[in-house]
Amino acid sequence: MDELLENHWHHLPIAEVRQILEVHADGLRDLEVRHRLERFGPNQVTAVRQRSAMLRLLAQFNNPLIYILLASAVVTALLKGPVDAIAIALVVVVNALLGFVQESRAEAEIESLRRMVTTEATVIREGERKRVPSAELVPGDLVALQSGDRVPADLRLAEVRELHVDESALTGESVPVPKDLGPLAVDAPLAERFDMAYAGSVVTYGQARGLVVATGDGTETGRIAKLVGSASPLETPLTRKIAHFSKVLLVGIVALAATAFIVGVLRRESWAEMLIAAVTLAVAAIPEGLPAVVTITLAIGVRRMARRRAIIRKLPAVETLGSTTVVCSDKTGTLTRNEMTVVRVQAGGETFELEGSGYEPSGEVRRAGQPLRPGEGSALEECLRAGILCNDTQLERIGERWQVQGDPTEAALRVSAAKLGLARPEALARFHRLDEIPFESDRQYMATLHTDGDVRRVDLKGSVERVLARCTHALGASGQALELNAQAVLAQAEALASRGLRVLAFAKKVLEADRAHLTHEDVAADMVFLGLQAMLDPPRPEAIAAVRACRSAGVRVKMITGDHPLTAAAIARELGLEGSGQAITGRELERLHERELIDVADRCSVFARVAPEQKLELVEALQSRGHVVAMTGDGVNDAPALRKADIGVAMGITGTDAAKEAAAMVLTDDDFATIEAAIEEGRGVFDNLTKFIVWTLPTNIGQGMVILAAVVLGLLLPILPVQVLWINMTTAVFLGLALAFEPKEAGIMARPPRARDTPILTAELVTRTLFISALLLVAAFGVFEWEQSVGEDLASARTAAVNVFVLVQGFYLFNCRSLTRSVFSVGLFSNLWAVGGLITMIAAQVAFTYLPILNHLFKSDPVRPLAWLWALLASLLGVLFVGLEKWVRGRIRKRRPRRPLRKSRVQHA
């Protein structure tokens, strides 16, 4: 028993498994169950220990920008009193609480995984059949399975009767897997271990008994839970850029404040006064409204995405989508419908194509591109009828969706027949079933016996090779029996299979009228071949358009699935994935060194038979190449990669709880096309954040430069700390927030993704920011000195300087609504928030200037009308300069010859 967790159970004969587990044919004794439960623990996935709520809350303050704000609040409280400090502190606290709430909702994936193995199970103990909670299962327990059961633990199958298990949530297989007794090769991948049944999978057909070989954390589901817990989420491009920007800002503020203090002391000024000046400069340079605007802008993006059926669970994920360069998508249920569909039928020497997809029984049947007319296609009708007679699956409509009870493959056969007007209830009413031979994996066929009046009809379906071996004739196009050309049929089947289609063959036979039972000898020979039905899990039509749109936006789409390589490659070709000629398998990935893996991950687009940990490795490999990776998925096997990716995207309808809880975004419509819409919204969010920073920085830099200039020149401060707070907070609320509501610019999806290493402010934007800052320095300082020179008192002169800052910022706001286009091309009134914000800000500034209570609180004083004119002229000068700069740069861009698109250094597979 010591080597229990080290055995390759699928590779061992069942007798050896029984010996290792020390279990008898009648199951474990109750005493032995208790001992093993104490030794191995309950059959539950152990939750990863999470940080306490207090630590998560404190972590929200671990940001350089927050350090600046906290320091400024403390210094302001010490030097100027608590009122000014409270305003700054409130911004910090609100920002931290928003982050805390988001993170608290994001750590539930382990609990959802635990729920997957806490069902009830049927066990045989001491020869008796019992129902027990799955948490009480132990290694060595003999578990009985039947159709509809969820597998409660990892089982080595000991007895199998036509067992089919849906493992799509674990392996990505699009159809239920038939099981047998093995043993198998030691290196058989998870999706091909046909003698195993894994915890969390669902029995769709048949019965079996299996020995428990792993419980709780030892199961494949438990192993994935560990991967989820170890895959800590990365910082997003936005948080990285904001953190870097904050560090640069921190260094700049400290340097300026220190310079002001040192220069003042060297000029023999009072060190206490210079300390106040340095603190004033620091407060002036801090963009207090930035954290709040970042949070609000992201929240607006969340609301917009919700209207487009994308639920954001983590705020920074909004912007991350806009920076995405690669979307790694699961196939089954994400790019495809997870509904098997017959797309082609070969019958009577003719080829028929079936339109429609999924289980919706609608769509034309075409021959040579033309719709089939009623009464045509006798051989086709017989082939489709065999598909619904030799069939045990129930298909019913519940609400807007069709639900399958049984095998999805058989459901597809029912739908294909319905498209020709053949319904199963009417068929069974005419052809009453008398007996059947159920499908078994070793025989690879199913047969049913029906009565049609005095005639006994046998219908057979199964693998092409097994059915052909029992046929001597084939049904012709007009219903006549012809000599069978088996080689031609095999060639047709191989051609269909090479396109990734699952192919089934059908045959029939007439028996004596008095037959009531069916034997294997009855279907051993003399059958009439009816045709082939080829099916696949089709791609979503909207996914094809979405992939095309992503490519035009410079976003590469990669398929990572546990399905068969041929099937994956076929779906990839239909989707139009770049370089979809072949699929790289998990076994091939295993043989690659780290550098080779990174190269293959970057250049290839289709990966099949991939294990959960390999999905994680592929995401990490792409990230190492500098890609911003979005990972989509719906199964348990996708959860670790969803969490590790820069943004995980889960399916809301078909997705498992584990996938939803691991993801940063959930699609409520399971539509891959929604990702394209979310990428568009994400780009708009990043644009608006950049616009806010470009708008707010000149005020902070300009205020700092004004104070520094006053210290260096030995003059009075043109603005006071309390006035600095007035400017920063009121303009951020009344003006800056309008940029959060700015509509997306035209052509936003025609440009490539923003490179990961591109700073928030490009050289062009830095130049513009420095000019506006210099304009504020000259205008505010000039107006302050001029007003004093004409006899205005100090308070009035400072009020005039404050008005310069506010009006320049107000008019400059409209220049920032687009970073490259003029305000007139954007539309002067296309953002009414900006118009309303400017009007409100001017009204607030008039109150700041003339209202006595505000004069008292902010040390302001009424100004003469000419002072307003100086501020207005400075504002118009800024508008004209930025407009001229945009025009010149636009002309240069138009004249600059376009560079041809760079070809990838590595050819795509």
pLDDT in tens, 567-625: 888 888 888 887 666 789 888 999 999 899 999 999 899 998 887 778 889 999 999 98
On the question of pLDDT at 231 being above 60, the answer is: no
438 contacts: CB under 8 Å, gap ≥ 6: 161, 162, 206, 446
Measured distance CA(509)–CA(98) in Å, rounded: 70
406 contacts: CB under 8 Å, gap ≥ 6: 147, 204, 205, 392, 393, 394
Which segment of 116-120, 155-159, 471-475, 874-878 scores lowest on mean pLDDT? Answer: 116-120
Q: What does the pLDDT average to over 687-703? A: 86
Q: What does the pLDDT average to over 720-734? A: 80
Band the pLDDT of 102: cuts 50, 70, 90.
very low
Among 228, 47, 43, which Cα is nearest to 154's? 43
On the question of pLDDT at 387 being above 60, the answer is: yes
3-state secondary structure 11-35: HCCHHHHHHHHCCCCCCCCHHHHHH
How high is the pLDDT of residue 427? 84
How high is the pLDDT of residue 60? 67
- Are 296 and 740 a contacting pair, CB within 8 Å? yes
Neighbour count for residue 309 (Cβ, 10 Å): 17
267 contacts: CB under 8 Å, gap ≥ 6: 714
Give the Å distances, CA to CA, from 243 to 88, 229, 238, 410.
19, 25, 8, 55
Length of the chain, in residues = 909
pLDDT in tens, 293-309: 676 777 777 777 777 77
- Are 581 and 559 a contacting pair, CB within 8 Å? no
On the question of pLDDT at 757 being above 90, the answer is: no
pLDDT in tens, 36-68: 999 888 887 775 555 667 776 776 676 665 676
Query: Which backbone phi and psi does 794 adopt, to 5 degrees?
Result: -60, -40
Mean residue pLDDT across the chain: 81
Give the H/E segment covering residue 345: strand 341-347
Q: What does the pLDDT average to over 465-485? A: 92
pLDDT in tens, 175-210: 788 888 878 888 888 888 899 999 878 887 788 999
pLDDT in tens, 838-862: 999 999 999 999 999 999 888 899 9
Measured distance CA(231)–CA(228) in Å, rounded: 5
Q: β-strand 556-560 against 326-329: which pairing, if any?
A: parallel
- Are 502 and 409 a contacting pair, CB within 8 Å? yes
How high is the pLDDT of residue 342? 94
Structure tokens at 527: 């059958």
How high is the pLDDT of residue 850? 94
Could you give the count of Cα atoms lying within 13 Å of 768 in the half-sphere of its Cβ?
Answer: 27
Which is higher by pLDDT, 782 or 266? 782
How high is the pLDDT of residue 539? 85
Q: Which residue has the tokens 């139009």?
A: 576
Measured distance CA(514)–CA(522) in Å, rounded: 14
Measured distance CA(159)–CA(827) in Å, rounded: 73
Q: β-strand 154-166 against 202-214: which pairing, if any?
A: antiparallel
Residue 874 identity (one-letter amino acid): A
Q: β-strand 370-371 against 445-452: which pairing, if any?
A: unpaired
Handedness of CA 408, 411, 417, 421 (dihedral sign): negative
On the question of pLDDT at 233 being above 50, the answer is: no
Which is higher by pLDDT, 831 or 245? 831
Looking at 487-526, which runs of residues are DSSP E strands? 502-511
How high is the pLDDT of residue 144? 92
Among 763, 771, 880, which Cα is nearest to 815's? 880
How high is the pLDDT of residue 79? 59
Residue 288 identity (one-letter amino acid): E
Measured distance CA(845)–CA(128) in Å, rounded: 85
- Are 197 and 9 a contacting pair, CB within 8 Å? no
Band the pLDDT of 237: cuts 50, 70, 90.
low
Q: Active-site residue among 141, 166, 330, 459?
A: 330
Q: What does the pLDDT average to over 19-35? A: 88
How high is the pLDDT of residue 101? 63
Catalytic, 330? Answer yes
Band the pLDDT of 901: cuts 50, 70, 90.
very low
3-state secondary structure 847-907: HHHHCHHHHHHHCCCCCCHHHHHHHHHHHHHHHHHHHHHHHHHHHHHHHCCCCCCCCCCCC
Band the pLDDT of 648: cuts 50, 70, 90.
confident
Q: Which residue has the tokens 């199913």?
A: 446
Measured distance CA(591)–CA(720) in Å, rounded: 67
Please tell me the pTM assigned to this model: 0.61
Neighbour count for residue 668 (Cβ, 10 Å): 14
Which is higher by pLDDT, 447 or 368? 447
How high is the pLDDT of residue 117? 37
476 contacts: CB under 8 Å, gap ≥ 6: 348, 349, 379, 482
